[in-house]
Amino acid sequence: MENKDIELEFSIKSGAPEKQRTACVVVGVFESRKLSAPATDIDRASDGYLSEILRGGDMEGKAGSTLLLHKVPNILADRILLVGLGKERDFHEKAYRDAIACAVKTLRDTGSMEAAITLSEIPVKKRDVAWNIEQAVIATQDALYRFDRMKSKPSEARRPLKRVIFAVSRRGELKYGEAGLARGLAIAHGISLAKDLGNTPSNICTPEYLAGEAQKVAQAHGFGCEILDYAACDKLGMGSFLSVGKGSDKPPHFIVLKHEGGAKGDKPVVLVGKAVTFDAGGISLKPAGEMDEMNYDMSGGGAVIGAFRAIGELGLKLNVVGLIPACENMPDAKANKPGDIVTSMSGQTIEILNTDAEGRLILCDALTYAEHFDPDVVIDLATLTGACVIALGAHPSALYSNHDPLAREIEHAADHAWDRVWRMPLWDDYQDQLKSSLADMANIGGRPGGSITAACFLWRFAKKYHWAHLDIAGTAWIGGREKKGSTGRPVSLLVHFLLNRTLK
């Protein structure tokens, strides 16, 4: 599968909005009919035309509302698009991103081929110009993203949006805007790749296919890439990982990506991504409802590959390793059975009480393999537990860590990326739930605190380094037949974490 990003040209510009020669200038309106600063400039140049329209009741400024105006007097642009921003006191990060997305979708639906968007000039509390531009680029690409390559007749915009200019208030802000633009494009490309991988159905996106996509990214950006097959994993003693794929006719692949952008000898950051390309639950078969979404169970691995694409585009001066254990979890005669005991690469034995708790079985061997790289820190990300969705819903990813400074680093990166996390407890109190009378541990701890006991299980394999676990079960994709799709999270979080590390 070739990853095709939206062919969209971005640029940054300062200057009076009324003097922009473009198909459309986008300006914001707060409730109740309060013009943003760029809208005020246009209103003044047009002798109060916008104010007159608003007084007529055509728009109140409610979030999500738009009004397209043609031939505004004394304005060089063909059209002016008013976008509702909601209440000014509530105009924070989400409202800003939503306004950008609303504007872009309206431009797409009304056939504008280019536009100057002044929403990027509107201050967002505690955020700077670079943040505004970066988030505007990401929100724009997200709004325009489509995955329709599996349809016999892919949909096409009548006149696709081809050029977007984001405005900054002063010329002195241009360099900061350009930096934000570069970051935003790299992150958006990484997110798009993660989405493409997640949305590709499992009859196509197999472990072998995912390995091939990782190799393409490696070749494009000069990364090292090694694919460990069954025999290589077996020689390493990855009995837990290999047990999960026994019920599938698709052989497992353990993908290793290496970016050597830092100094030789510097300890790498290791990213570990769960990649179960389809999870039927194994013998502990999942219910039929929503099983069609289980191709997204490789979203952790897809996000690692997407992050590596962004790393390559940004040329980060940092050593980074990506580990992606990829397999299918199917109910074949050879599959794991409840009550089976397997031996992990660490030598610890695991009693499998539920074959649908398979993600931790593949991650534990990957976490042990991470020791080979003498890592500075290890972060794993996985669509691990339904319990996480019950606890936190679809907004933050759950964060667990055995090292408080690392957890704070991730929280800081998540806030700046607006790809948020919520730290959960990793207390010894929960460890008793994983006791087994026949093995070193069980692979489940019962329903109470299910996301926590899953993290406690992984912690047992990550004691030799600073480690964090992100449960992205609620954030990696959106469910439902009509709107189903990957979100590409947490690519943005990972990239910001790595960017911050280059500044140390």
What single DSSP character describes residue 473? T
Q: Name the active-site residue from 183, 250, 274, 360.
A: 360
Q: Is there a catalytic annotation at residue 360?
A: yes
Instruction: Determine whether 67 is exposed, middle or buried from the number of CB atoms within 10 Å of its CB (0-12, 13-18, 19+).
Output: middle
**CA distance to 259, 260, 267, 317, 400, per residue, from 263 (Å):** 11, 8, 9, 8, 29
Q: Single out the residue of 24, 17, 30 nearest to residue 121, CA to CA.
A: 17
Centroid of chain to Cα 357 = 23
Largest alpha-carbon pair distance within the chain? 82
- DSSP result, 395-436: SSEEEEES-HHHHHHHHHHHHHHT--EEE----GGGGGGG--
Alpha-carbon dihedral sign for residues 489, 495, 496, 501? positive
Q: List residues bridging with 86 in a β-sheet.
A: 30
Q: How many other β-carbons are positioned within 10 Å of the β-carbon of residue 169?
A: 16
Q: Name the active-site residue from 286, 337, 423, 484.
A: 286
Q: Single out the residue of 169, 174, 157 nearest to residue 111, CA to CA.
A: 157
Which amino acid would we find at residue 330? M
Catalytic site positions: 286, 360
